[in-house]
Amino acid sequence: MSRRGLLGAVAVAVLAAGCGSGGHGAGSGGHGGGSQTSTTAAASAAAHAATTRSVARRAHHHHGGGYGHLPSWLPSAKPPSQKPLHASFSHPRLTLQGEGLAISLPGAHLLATAVGPAVPEIGRTPVPATSPVTFVVTFSHVTAPVRLRRTSFVLVDEQHRIHHPRMTGMRGGAPPARLLPGPPVSIKLHSVLPTGDGGLEWRPTGGRAIAGWDFNVEID
């Protein structure tokens, strides 16, 4: 509220109080002091109310909203960014399932993420010694064509035994023969594993592993 508006509100309050005290003053002179006191109190209350409204209006405008809105100058909360680990034939990497690996191949780069296993035997009694398992591997950010061998993935169970999973497309058909630049591509790996810890390895050329993901098969 402007200074002129504040003075106007005080004047209205004074006139209203004066009119109310005039009738009583004609009847009795003893109420004159009380009327002057009430007039002063009314003027003070009106000024306080006007000032409060003005401050609230300025605060509302400054913060861009009413109660329940955070001040605009507060920084927004953002999760910390985490870059994937880098893997290559000279520096192979092992990480946990669900984590992505930035992989450098001769003439190409890509991001690979393995998730799993999905185990359909959970909750069965008695607990079986082995269970079918399914992994999903997703390739993205491919910079150049990369051959995808069906035998390039290897599973190692807790007893260090080697398993060669069956590779399919996401809908059960044949997987792609090559990884190409463009949208992400996912494949499924199917096998039967015992309970316990294990590892999934990717051997793009059929020889050494370039990337690996630790996992755990839980059936109970």
pLDDT in tens, 121-148: 666 677 788 999 999 999 999 999 999 9
Domain ranges for the chain: 3-63, 85-217
153-156 and 146-147 strand pairing = unpaired
Q: Is 190:166 a contact under the CB 8 Å cutoff?
A: yes
Mean pLDDT of the chain: 76
Cα–Cα dist 153/167, whole Å: 8
Q: 85-217, what's its fold? A: Immunoglobulin-like (2.60.40)
Count the Cβ atoms, other than its own, within 10 Å of residue 204.
Answer: 23
pLDDT in tens, 181-191: 999 999 999 99
On the question of pLDDT at 60 being above 80, the answer is no
| Exposure of 87 in the CB half-sphere (CA atoms within 13 A) | 25
Q: What is the average per-residue pLDDT within 3-15?
A: 44
**What is the DSSP code (8-state) at residue 80?**
P
Cα–Cα dist 187/137, whole Å: 5
**Candidate from 22-36, 40-54, 102-116, 195-209 with smallest mean pLDDT:** 22-36
| The token pair that represents 215 in the structure block | 């996992």
Q: What is the average per-residue pLDDT within 104-128?
A: 88
**Candidate from 9-18, 72-81, 167-176 with smallest mean pLDDT:** 9-18
DSSP of 94-148: EEETT-EEEEEETTEEEEEEEEEEE-TTTT-SSPPSEEEEEEEEEEE---S-EE-
**Candidate from 46-60, 77-91, 201-215 with smallest mean pLDDT:** 46-60
Q: Is the pTM of this model over 0.85?
A: no
